[in-house]
Amino acid sequence: MVETVGIVVVPAAVKPAAVREWVVVQASRLHSAAGTAAPQTTKCVLGQPPMPSQSFRIAVLISGGGTTLRNFIEKIRAGRLPVEIALVVSSSPAARGIRFAEEAGIPVAIVEPKAFSCQDDFSRAIFDRCRDAGAQLVAMAGFLKRITIPDDFGNRVVNIHPGLIPAFCGQGFYGHRVHEAVLAYGVKLSGCTVHFADNQYDHGPVILQKAVPVLEDDMPDTLAARVFEAECEAYPEAIRWIAEGRVTLDGRRVRIASEPK
C-alpha cells in the first residue's frame, strides 16, 4: 500500500514526520535520472487566490505545544478555513505540537537552529522546505525563533501577537510576558494582532485585531486564556481572507475586500 504525495509515491512505511524529507530526496533522484530540472514552485501573489481546482497551501511554523496549529486543523475540518496545511516545521523535535500534525497526516520537518552556524542559514533551511511543499503562505504559530524572511516570501509570512500592536510588543514581549506587562500598566483593553511578519519584531502591517477586556481580578493566566479565545477566531479569519484573495497592501495599510475574488 502506498500514499501518493504530488507526483511522488511514498511507501506507507514512511512515517508522516519523514514524508517531506523522503519526497525531496526521491524527487531529486527522479529528475536526475531523467536528466531534467526539478519543477519550480509558483509564487503566490498577495491578493491572488489559486485557481478553483487548486487548494491554497500553507506551511505552519511551531516551537512548542501547537495549540494554534490544532485550532487551524479544527477550523479546516469544520469548513471554516479553506486551506491545506502542506507542511509543519518545528524548531524542536520535542515540540508537543508535532503530535497534532502527525495525527492529521501532515508532513513534518524538524529544523533545529543549533544545527546551523547562523540565523540566515537556519532561515534558509526553513524556507527551502516551505518552497518544496508549495506553500503559498507561511503562518508562524508559537514559533519562538528569530528568522530572516527571504525576498520571495515578503508579505507571505503571517504571525499573531497576544497584544494590541503597537502596544506591548517588540523584542522580549511574547507569551505571558505580554500579559504581565498589560496588567502592570493597568490598561483596560488587551487583545491580539494578526500581522504580516518582516525582519523586525512585531513590525509588519496589521491585518486584523480583536480586543478583549482586562478585568479587575485578572491574573496573567486568566487574561491569557481570554486573549487566546480571540486568537482562535482572528488568526483563521485573517488567513481565510488571504486565501480568498481579499487582502491588498497600500503602504502599511492592509485593505480587506468585502467579497472574495
How large is the average pLDDT for residues 167-174? 87
Backbone angles phi, psi at 87, to 5 degrees: -165, 145
User: What is the pLDDT averaged over residues 92-112?
Assistant: 97
Neighbours of 5 (CB within 10 A): 18
User: Per the structure block, which three cell numbers stand in for 60?
Assistant: 505552519
Which is catalytic among the residues 161, 176, 179, 203?
Answer: 161
Alpha-carbon separation of residue 131 from 118, 128, 136, 138, 182 (angstroms): 20, 5, 8, 10, 38
Q: Class of the 16-22+42-256 domain?
A: alpha beta
Domain boundaries, the chain: 16-22+42-256
Radius of gyration of the chain (CA): 19
In the predicted structure, residue 201 carries a pLDDT above the cut 90: no
Enter the pTM of the model.
0.79
Which tens digits make up the pLDDT trace of 43-100? 333 544 444 446 999 999 999 999 999 999 999 999 999 999 999 999 999 999 999 9
The rounded mean pLDDT for the chain is 84
Nearest to 90 by CA among 39, 135, 129: 129
* CB atoms inside a 10 Å sphere around CB 3: 14
Q: Is residue 127 helix, strand or coil? A: helix
Q: Mean pLDDT across the stretch 183-203?
A: 95
Q: For residues 88 and 57, give the distance between their C-alpha atoms in angstroms, rounded to a whole number.
A: 11
pLDDT band at 226; cut points 50, 70, 90: very high
The answer to whether residues 44 and 156 touch, using CB atoms and an 8 Å cutoff, is yes
pLDDT in tens, 228-243: 999 999 999 999 999 9
Q: What are phi and psi of 58, to 5 degrees?
A: -125, 155
Whether 203 is a known active-site residue: answer no
